[in-house]
């Protein structure tokens, strides 16, 4: 993300990895179903869905706040003009979220395919 001059094969590989890693979000639903009692499964899955959707309301304002509070933007004809460093600062949300997600995975319990049915 922060390396200039990426070649086309590198970018294709990066987008493949992004798709591969983010597709694992779907695995949260069976994990939640296996970790909770059968009478709480639908509630737990609903809470997961709400948490996923809330990120759409939290991340864009946080991105804007980070860009606005960067010190390198300037005014030009009454409009704020942001520099590349402003965008780079705001894009730090992504690696921080990836690292946070990686840390959280170490606290998940293994279910060993216990079926409640």
Per-residue pLDDT tens listing for the chain (117 residues)? 667 788 899 989 988 998 888 888 888 888 888 888 889 989 999 998 898 888 888 889 999 899 888 777 788 888 888 888 888 888 888 888 889 888 988 888 777 776 655
Token pair 């997600």 in the structure block, residue = 101
- Predicted confidence at residue 47, as pLDDT, reads 92
Judge whether 3 and 97 are in contact, CB under 8 Å: no
- Predicted confidence at residue 9, as pLDDT, reads 93
Residues 6+ apart with CB under 8 A from 117: 38
Instruction: Give the DSSP H or E segment for 59.
Output: helix 41-68
- Predicted confidence at residue 103, as pLDDT, reads 92
Cross-strand partners of 74: 81
112: left (phi over 0), alpha (psi -120 to 50) or beta: left
């Amino acid at each position: 993300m922060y390396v200039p001059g990426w070649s086309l094969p590198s970018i294709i590989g990066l987008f493949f990895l992004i798709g591969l890693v983010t597709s694992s979000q779907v695995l949260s639903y069976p994990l939640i179903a296996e970790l909770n009692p059968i009478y709480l499964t639908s509630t737990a899955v609903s809470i997961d869905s709400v948490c996923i959707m809330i990120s759409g309301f939290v991340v864009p304002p946080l991105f804007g706040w980070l860009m606005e509070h960067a010190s390198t933007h300037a005014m030009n004809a009454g409009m704020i003009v942001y520099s590349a460093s402003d965008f780079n600062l705001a894009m730090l949300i992504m690696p921080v979220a990836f690292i946070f997600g990686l840390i959280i995975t170490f606290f998940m319990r293994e279910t060993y395919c216990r079926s409640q049915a």
